[in-house]
C-alpha cells in the first residue's frame, strides 16, 4: 500500500517492448538498478511492464544497445492527473480540501490505548481520563503527558508507575499496578459463642476454647449453642462463683440435609438457521453511521446479525475517526419444543452439579444426593436433597446470649384451669404426667382445686402451658391421654409445630369394632396417611411400633366400606423371623396362618371377626402369602404388602406388576429387620432406588419419634439406631421429607 502510494505521488508509466532483444533489455535494467515491475509476456515476443517516470528518461542508451522498440502505453500517478486536469480548478480545490482535512484530522487524538492494566479495566481508566476532559477527538496540543501521569497516580492509588505518550493520533498510557500483599489477618478477641448455622447431626468436634454444649452424634437445631463462650468459675464445693467470657473456637462438622429447587416450563423456544443469509456494509464517521444490507428482505426480528468493525488507519500510528465494517445476517426460524425425559434428566443433573460445586467451594463434602422431577400447573419442578458433611458453626456475641440467659432465668408463674372431669386424664395416675413435664422443662407445677400453677423461666413456662393446653384439648375430644401423647407433646413444644398435635387428632380414619377412633398420632403418621390418600402406591418405611401396618389396614377397610374398592388383599412373604419352626400340620391355610397373624389381629380389631369371616367367604377380603400373587391381575382392590423388607427383588417386581386399574397399593417394611438369608438383597431396598423418580409413588420414612407403642419401645428403637450408626458409620439410609 505504501509503495503504491509512493509511486503514485512520483508518477509511473506502462511500457511495451517488441523487436530486438527484450530479454537483454530487462537484464540490463536490472543490472543498472532501474525499477521495473509487473512484467508480462504478450504474443509474438512482446513484453509489457511498469517503470517510474525518472527511470524511463534514463533507459534510452539501453534501448539502443538491445535494439528494442519502447513504446509508452499508459501514464499513471499524481503528476499526470494534475496535467490532465490542469484546466479543471474544482479538481484541484477538492484535492486540496482533502489533504487539508486529512492533515487537520492528524492534529487530534482518535484512539486511546492502555497497557499493563490487570486490576483496573479499560472502562475504569477511561472514566479517570474523562475527569481531566481527555477523550477521543481532543487536540493533541491540549494534552500534557506529565499532568496525565500525575493525575492517574493520584486518582488510582494502586497504580505505582504511569507513562503517557502521544504517537500519531493515538494516546498510549502504560501503567504498573501495585502487587498487593495479602493482609495479615487480625485476630478477633471479641467473646462469642458458636451456634449451629443449620440443623444436622454432629459427626466430628474439636474444641480449642469454650465449653462444649453438645457431643458427637447429637442432633442439633439451627441457632442452638454448640460451644459456649461463658466459662464458669467454681469454688471448692463445686458451686459456680462467677464466670468469664472467652471467644469460643472449635472445628465442628455435621451431617446436614440441604434442599434445592428449580422451576422449568413445559417447553422452550428454539431458533435454528434456515440457511438464508444476507450481507452488508457498515460505515461510521464520528457520531454518524449508516448501514446497507443486501438483499433487504424479511422481518427484522427473524435475523441474527454479526458485525466486524475496523478503524481506518492512515499509517501505523495515525488512526482516523472512520470505521468500516462488514455485516452478516442469518435468517432464523423460531419454534416451540417440549422438554423430553432425557432433557429433564440432564437439567436435573446439571442443577445437582451446580449445587454440589457451590457446596464444595465452601469445603462441604457431599455424601448423598437425591433429586426428583415433579409436574406442576405451570411446568416442571426439580427438587433435590443433598446429605452433606461440613462445618456448621457460626459466631454469635456472648452479649446476646447473656440477654437470653437473663430472660430464661427470670422466674414467672401462671395459672391453668383444668376441668375436674379431665384432671385425672391429663395429669396421669399419681400425677405421673405432671412430674414428667416438670423434669423435662425444669419447671415447678402445683395442682390444686382444679388449677395448676406453673413456676419457672418464662420460656419454659410458656412451653409447659402449651403442652397442658394441648393435652386438655385432646382429653376434651374423648382421648385417653397416654405417656406417648405426653412425650410427643413435649417434643413438639421445642419446635414451631407444637399446635400440630391438635390438627393430627382431627384426622379420624375410621372406628374400631368397639367404637374407638383410629387416627394418626404423630406428624410422621399424618404425612403417611396423607400420602396414602394422594398417591396410588405408597411405601411406608419405619421401625417396629410406628403404626405402618395398622394405619394401612384402617385406610383399606374404610375405603372398602365407602365402596371406593371392591376387595381387600393382604399379603406378606412367608419367612421365619430368625428361627426354624419345622413342618406345620394341617391344610394350606393352617400352615400360612402363623405368618399372617399380625394381619388377622388388625382385621379383627378394626372390622370384627364376624364381619371379616363373612367378607372372606365371599372372597372380598383375601389374606394370602406373597408367593400366591404370581400371574394375577388385581383390579379395583386395596392391596397391602407387609414386611416388604423380606422380599427378594424378583418378588417385589412380581408384586408391583400385578396392579390393575382402580387399585391402591401400600407397601410397609422395616429396613433394620431383614430375615433374608445372609448376603441376599432385599427387594424393598432395590425398589426404593429404582422407583424414586416415578410420579404417583410416595415414600414415607417413619422414625423412632413415631413409635406409638409403650414408651420403652421408642427408647429401644432409638438405642438400636444409635448403636448401628456407630457400628457402621459409612452405611446410610435414604432421607425423605416424611421423616
Residues 478, 514 contacting (CB under 8 angstroms): no
In this predicted structure, the answer to whether residue 593 has a pLDDT above a threshold of 70 is no
CA atoms within 13 A on the CB side of 134: 27
Question: Residue 666: pLDDT band by 50, 70, 90 thresholds?
Answer: very high
Give the number of residues written for the chain.
739
Give the pLDDT confidence of 708-737 residue by residue, as tens digits: 766 566 667 677 777 766 665 444 444 444
Cβ neighbours around 393 below 10 Å, total:
20
What integer is the mean pLDDT of 306-335?
A: 78
Residues 309, 324 contacting (CB under 8 angstroms): yes
Give the pLDDT confidence of 178-197 residue by residue, as tens digits: 765 444 456 677 888 899 98
Residues 524, 530 contacting (CB under 8 angstroms): no
For the ranges 39-53, 111-125, 579-593, 601-615, which has the lowest average pLDDT?
Answer: 579-593
217 vs 725: CA distance, rounded Å: 9
Higher pLDDT, 568 or 81: 568
Q: How far is CA 504 from CA 496, 509, 710, in A?
A: 15, 11, 20
379 vs 264: CA distance, rounded Å: 6
Q: What is the per-residue pLDDT for 18? A: 86
401 vs 409: CA distance, rounded Å: 12
Question: Residue 404: pLDDT band by 50, 70, 90 thresholds?
Answer: very low
Could you give the 3-state DSSP secondary structure of residue 739?
coil
65 vs 70: CA distance, rounded Å: 12
Q: What is the per-residue pLDDT for 139? A: 87
Question: Residue 665: pLDDT band by 50, 70, 90 thresholds?
Answer: very high
Question: Residue 55: pLDDT band by 50, 70, 90 thresholds?
Answer: confident
Higher pLDDT, 66 or 298: 66
Dihedral class, residue 90 (left if φ above 0, else alpha if ψ from -120 to 50, else beta): alpha
**Cell digits for 571?**
399379603
Please provide the DSSP assignment of 212-233 as one string.
Answer: E---TT-EE-TT-EEEESEEEE
Give percent of the chain above pLDDT 70.
86
Q: What is the per-residue pLDDT for 737? A: 41
**Cell digits for 720?**
438400636
Q: First vs last Cα of the chain: how many Å apart?
A: 80
**For residue 604, what is the enclosing H or E element?**
helix 588-606
Q: What is the per-residue pLDDT for 540? A: 92
676 vs 641: CA distance, rounded Å: 16
* Nearest partner of 429 among 475, 385, 481, 384, judged by Cα: 481
* Nearest partner of 628 among 691, 569, 712, 703, judged by Cα: 569
What would you report as the CA-atom Rg of the chain, rounded to the nearest whole angstrom?
A: 46
Dihedral class, residue 275 (left if φ above 0, else alpha if ψ from -120 to 50, else beta): left
Main-chain dihedrals φ then ψ at residue 352, nearest 5 degrees: -60, -40
Main-chain dihedrals φ then ψ at residue 590, nearest 5 degrees: -70, -35
Higher pLDDT, 188 or 127: 127
Could you give the 3-state DSSP secondary structure of residue 363?
coil
Q: What is the per-residue pLDDT for 402? A: 45
Question: Residue 589: pLDDT band by 50, 70, 90 thresholds?
Answer: low
In this predicted structure, the answer to whether residue 234 has a pLDDT above a threshold of 70 is no
What integer is the mean pLDDT of 514-525?
A: 81
Give the pLDDT confidence of 681-716 residue by residue, as tens digits: 888 989 988 888 888 899 998 887 777 766 566 667
In this predicted structure, the answer to whether residue 86 has a pLDDT above a threshold of 80 is no
How much is the pTM?
A: 0.42
Matching residue, cell 517516470: 53
Give the pLDDT confidence of 608-656 residue by residue, as tens digits: 878 878 888 888 888 878 877 777 888 899 999 988 888 889 888 888 8
Q: What is the per-residue pLDDT for 496? A: 63
418 vs 438: CA distance, rounded Å: 17
What integer is the mean pLDDT of 87-115?
A: 80
Higher pLDDT, 239 or 561: 561
For the ranges 37-51, 273-287, 299-313, which has the lowest average pLDDT?
Answer: 299-313
553 vs 613: CA distance, rounded Å: 16
What integer is the mean pLDDT of 496-511?
A: 73
* Nearest partner of 669 among 615, 614, 598, judged by Cα: 598
Main-chain dihedrals φ then ψ at residue 510, nearest 5 degrees: -165, -175
* Nearest partner of 396 among 222, 254, 216, judged by Cα: 222
Q: What is the per-residue pLDDT for 733? A: 41
DSSP 546: S
Higher pLDDT, 31 or 186: 31
Give the pLDDT confidence of 624-637 residue by residue, as tens digits: 788 777 778 888 99
* Nearest partner of 697 among 540, 555, 536, 548, judged by Cα: 536
671 vs 657: CA distance, rounded Å: 22
351 vs 357: CA distance, rounded Å: 10
Cβ burial of 338 (10 Å; 0-12, 13-18, 19+) is exposed
Give the pLDDT confidence of 150-171 residue by residue, as tens digits: 888 888 888 888 888 888 888 8
498 vs 489: CA distance, rounded Å: 7
All residues at 6 or more sequence positions from 557 whose CB lies less than 8 Å from its CB, including other chains: 510, 568, 603, 606, 607
Give the pLDDT confidence of 426-469 residue by residue, as tens digits: 888 878 888 888 888 878 888 777 788 888 777 788 888 888 88
All residues at 6 or more sequence positions from 401 whose CB lies less than 8 Å from its CB, including other chains: 193, 225, 228, 229, 230
Question: Residue 143: pLDDT band by 50, 70, 90 thresholds?
Answer: confident
Question: Residue 539: pLDDT band by 50, 70, 90 thresholds?
Answer: very high
**Cell digits for 345?**
434428566
Residues 54, 105 contacting (CB under 8 angstroms): no
Amino acid at each position: 500500500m505504501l509503495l503504491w502510494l509512493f509511486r503514485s505521488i512520483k508518477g509511473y508509466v506502462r511500457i511495451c517492448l517488441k523487436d530486438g532483444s527484450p530479454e537483454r533489455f530487462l537484464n540490463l535494467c536490472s543490472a543498472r538498478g532501474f525499477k521495473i515491475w509487473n512484467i508480462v509476456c504478450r504474443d509474438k515476443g512482446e513484453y509489457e511492464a511498469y517503470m517510474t517516470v525518472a527511470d524511463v528518461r534514463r533507459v534510452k542508451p539501453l534501448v539502443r544497445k538491445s535494439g528494442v522498440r519502447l513504446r509508452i502505453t499508459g501514464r499513471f500517478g499524481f503528476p499526470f492527473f494534475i496535467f490532465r486536469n490542469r484546466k479543471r480548478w474544482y479538481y484541484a480545490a477538492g484535492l486540496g480540501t482533502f489533504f487539508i482535512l486529512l492533515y487537520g484530522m492528524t492534529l487530534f487524538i482518535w484512539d486511546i490505548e492502555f497497557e499493563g492494566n490487570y486490576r483496573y479495566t479499560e472502562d475504569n481508566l477511561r472514566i479517570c481520563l474523562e475527569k481531566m476532559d481527555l477523550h477521543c477527538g481532543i487536540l493533541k496540543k491540549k494534552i500534557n503527558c506529565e499532568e496525565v501521569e500525575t493525575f492517574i497516580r493520584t486518582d488510582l492509588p494502586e497504580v505505582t508507575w504511569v507513562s503517557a505518550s502521544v504517537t500519531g493520533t493515538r494516546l498510549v498510557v502504560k501503567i504498573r499496578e501495585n502487587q498487593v500483599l495479602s493482609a495479615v489477618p487480625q485476630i478477633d478477641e471479641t467473646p462469642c459463642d458458636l451456634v449451629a448455622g443449620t440443623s444436622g447431626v454432629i459427626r466430628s468436634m474439636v474444641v480449642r476454647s469454650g465449653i462444649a454444649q453438645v457431643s458427637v452424634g447429637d442432633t442439633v437445631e439451627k441457632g442452638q449453642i454448640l460451644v459456649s463462650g461463658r466459662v464458669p468459675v467454681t469454688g471448692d464445693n463445686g458451686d459456680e462463683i462467677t464466670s468469664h467470657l472467652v471467644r469460643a473456637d472449635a472445628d465442628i462438622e455435621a451431617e446436614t440435609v440441604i434442599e434445592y429447587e428449580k422451576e422449568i416450563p413445559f417447553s422452550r423456544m428454539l431458533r435454528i438457521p434456515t440457511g438464508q443469509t444476507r450481507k452488508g456494509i457498515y460505515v461510521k464517521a464520528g457520531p454518524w453511521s449508516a448501514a446497507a444490507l443486501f438483499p433487504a428482505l424479511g422481518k427484522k426480528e427473524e435475523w441474527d446479525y454479526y458485525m466486524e468493525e475496523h478503524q481506518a488507519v492512515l499509517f501505523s500510528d495515525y488512526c482516523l475517526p472512520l470505521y468500516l465494517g462488514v455485516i452478516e445476517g442469518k435468517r432464523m426460524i423460531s419454534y416451540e419444543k417440549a422438554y423430553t425425559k432425557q432433557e429433564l434428566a440432564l437439567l436435573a443433573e446439571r442443577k445437582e452439579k451446580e449445587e454440589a460445586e457451590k457446596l464444595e467451594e465452601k469445603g462441604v463434602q457431599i455424601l448423598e444426593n437425591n433429586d426428583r422431577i415433579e409436574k406442576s400447573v405451570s411446568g416442571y419442578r426439580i427438587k433435590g436433597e443433598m446429605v452433606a458433611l461440613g462445618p456448621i458453626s457460626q459466631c454469635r456475641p456472648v452479649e446476646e446470649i447473656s440477654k437470653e440467659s437473663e430472660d430464661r432465668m427470670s422466674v414467672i408463674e401462671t395459672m391453668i384451669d383444668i376441668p375436674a372431669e379431665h384432671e385425672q386424664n391429663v395429669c396421669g395416675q399419681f400425677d405421673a404426667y405432671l412430674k414428667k413435664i416438670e423434669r423435662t422443662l425444669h419447671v415447678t407445677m402445683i395442682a390444686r382445686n382444679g388449677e395448676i400453677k406453673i413456676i419457672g423461666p418464662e420460656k419454659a413456662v410458656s412451653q409447659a402451658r402449651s403442652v397442658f393446653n394441648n393435652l386438655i384439648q385432646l382429653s376434651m375430644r374423648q382421648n385417653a391421654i397416654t405417656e406417648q401423647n405426653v412425650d410427643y407433646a413435649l417434643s413438639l413444644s421445642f419446635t414451631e409445630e407444637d399446635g400440630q398435635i391438635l390438627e393430627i387428632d382431627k384426622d379420624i380414619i375410621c372406628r374400631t369394632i368397639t367404637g374407638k377412633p383410629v387416627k394418626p398420632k404423630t406428624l410422621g403418621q399424618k404425612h403417611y396417611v396423607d400420602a396414602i390418600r394422594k398417591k396410588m402406591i405408597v411405601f411406608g418405611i419405619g421401625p417396629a411400633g410406628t403404626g405402618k401396618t395398622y394405619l394401612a389396614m384402617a385406610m383399606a377397610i374404610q375405603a372398602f366400606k365407602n365402596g371406593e374398592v371392591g376387595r381387600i388383599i393382604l399379603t406378606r412373604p412367608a419367612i421365619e423371623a430368625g428361627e426354624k419352626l419345622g413342618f406345620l400340620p394341617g391344610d394350606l391355610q393352617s400352615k400360612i396362618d402363623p405368618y399372617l397373624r399380625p394381619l388377622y389381629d388388625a382385621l379383627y380389631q378394626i372390622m370384627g371377626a364376624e364381619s371379616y369371616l363373612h367378607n372372606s367367604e365371599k372372597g372380598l377380603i383375601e389374606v394370602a402369602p406373597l408367593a400366591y400373587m404370581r400371574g394375577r391381575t388385581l383390579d379395583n382392590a386395596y392391596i397391602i404388602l407387609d414386611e416388604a423388607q423380606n422380599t427378594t427383588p424378583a418378588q417385589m417386581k412380581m408384586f408391583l406388576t400385578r396392579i390393575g386399574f382402580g387399585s391402591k397399593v401400600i407397601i410397609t417394611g422395616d429396613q433394620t429387620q431383614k430375615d433374608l438369608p445372609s448376603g441376599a438383597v432385599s427387594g424393598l431396598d432395590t425398589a426404593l432406588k429404582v422407583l424414586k423418580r416415578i410420579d404417583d409413588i410416595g415414600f414415607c420414612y417413619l422414625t423412632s419419634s413415631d413409635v406409638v407403642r409403650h414408651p420403652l419401645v421408642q427408647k429401644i428403637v432409638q438405642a438400636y439406631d444409635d448403636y448401628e450408626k456407630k457400628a457402621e458409620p459409612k452405611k446410610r439410609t435414604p432421607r425423605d421429607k416424611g421423616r
